[in-house]
Amino acid sequence: DLFGDDNLPNLALIGTSFSRNSNFAGFLQQALKAPIGNFAKDGGEFSGAAKAYFDSPAFSQTPPQLVIWEIPERDLQTVNGADVSLLGE
């Protein structure tokens, strides 16, 4: 690759501290046999990590082929209008 992007992960993980602190990304990398960029955010709730990642240069300059979004079940009860607009609905 001309710009050296070949070594960047094509998979991105977004989510909460569960993804950051439990080696979830490591298990996914092992299972998928592919590197994963971990963009999980402590206290991210339903959409905090997603909003931060989608607004970041990491996403706009080198978008992944696949985004894996970890959402705790309890956060599904707290979806609000801003979260829905993030989903494009």
Residue 79: the pLDDT is: 62
Q: Of 28, 7, 31, which Cα lies nearest the Cα of 40?
A: 28
The DSSP H or E segment spanning 54 is: helix 48-54
* 61 residue type, one letter: Q
pTM: 0.76
Range of the domain at 63: 5-86
Whether the Cβ atoms of residue 13 and residue 41 lie closer than 8 Å to each other: no
Which pLDDT does position 1 carry in this prediction?
45
- In whole angstroms, give the CA distance from residue 41 to residue 11: 16
The Cα–Cα gap between 4 and 6 comes to 6
What total number of domains does the chain contain?
1
Residue 22 pLDDT level (bands cut at 50, 70, 90)? confident
Assigned token pair, 33: 């046999």
Can you tell me the mean pLDDT for 20-34? Answer: 92
Average pLDDT over residues 62-82: 80
